[in-house]
Amino acid sequence: MGVGCGLPDRVLRCGAPLALAVLALPCAAWAGTGVPDTQLWTELDVTGPIATDTTVTGIAKVRLSETLANPTMTSLEVDLNHKFREWWVSIGYVHEATPIRPEETVEGRPVNIKQVIRLFGSRAWRFGRNTLALRLRLDDTLNASSNPYRGRVRLEYRWATEGLSWMSYVFASDEVFYEFQDQEWFRNRFRAGANLILSERTDLQVFYQRQDSNNSTPGAINALGLTLDVTFK
């Protein structure tokens, strides 16, 4: 559909390196927020149909650190997804647990529990082997004593690896986080990786991630990410 979109062939041929360079710019601008921690981020996504254009997704996450108490975070999430014209819209509930660090004072509790309602909107534009995807997200932390609302905007570029039976695409994405109470952008998350095809229903996304934050410790994270995606039709 590249020609149909009015994009010259030269632009399509250069799309992959150009998009990767553009997505890398925010990461470079945010770098240098402390000594990076090395982490492993694992995730399991299981999606099944409910009705026409409506699905439900269960998500389990475990994150491990080289230097912090492990696991650094565990969470369970359920999302209800519906396709509305060109957009996928979702509402989700998250139950997240993070360990209490020694410097924190929380009355005898080993973990901090966070309960979050999330609203999503996502859309993808495809032209030839190229895909641009936009995701908008709003988080409402139900049990937060302050600053419960956060927004996130993610732009992702994918390049289809045609002819490979074991890989569907390579990708790069950048996501920025906004706190409404503090009225500031406080985090940047850059990813680059590939989507591997394990079976007809199962994919494995493998990626490198750099995260920089100005309101948490560690402020910088280098992570290897593994996301197993199982889809029933």
Of the candidates 193, 196, 206, the residue with the CA atom closest to the CA atom of residue 167: 196
Rounded Cα–Cα distance for residues 180 and 178 (Å): 6
Task: List pLDDT tens digits, range 144-157.
Answer: 888 899 999 999 99
pLDDT the model gives residue 6: 41
| Residue at 2 is within a domain | no
Q: Domain of 21?
A: 9-231
CATH at 72: 2.40.160
| Residue at 137 is within a domain | yes
| Residue at 3 is within a domain | no
Mean pLDDT of 175-186: 94
Reply yes or no: is the peptide bond before residue 71 cis, omega within 30 of 0. Answer: yes
Q: How many domains is the chain partitioned into structurally?
A: 1
pTM equals: 0.85
pLDDT the model gives residue 228: 98
| Residue at 49 is within a domain | yes
Name, in order, each residue with C-beta under 8 angstroms of 160's C-beta and a sequence gap of 6 or more.
129, 130, 131, 168, 169
| Residue at 91 is within a domain | yes
Expressed in angstroms, the distance from the first to the final Cα of the chain is: 26
- With contact defined as beta carbons under 8 Å apart, do 141 and 151 qualify? no
| Residue at 4 is within a domain | no
Q: Which range, 6-10, 68-72, 88-92, 106-110, is most confident?
A: 88-92
| Residue at 114 is within a domain | yes
pLDDT the model gives residue 26: 55
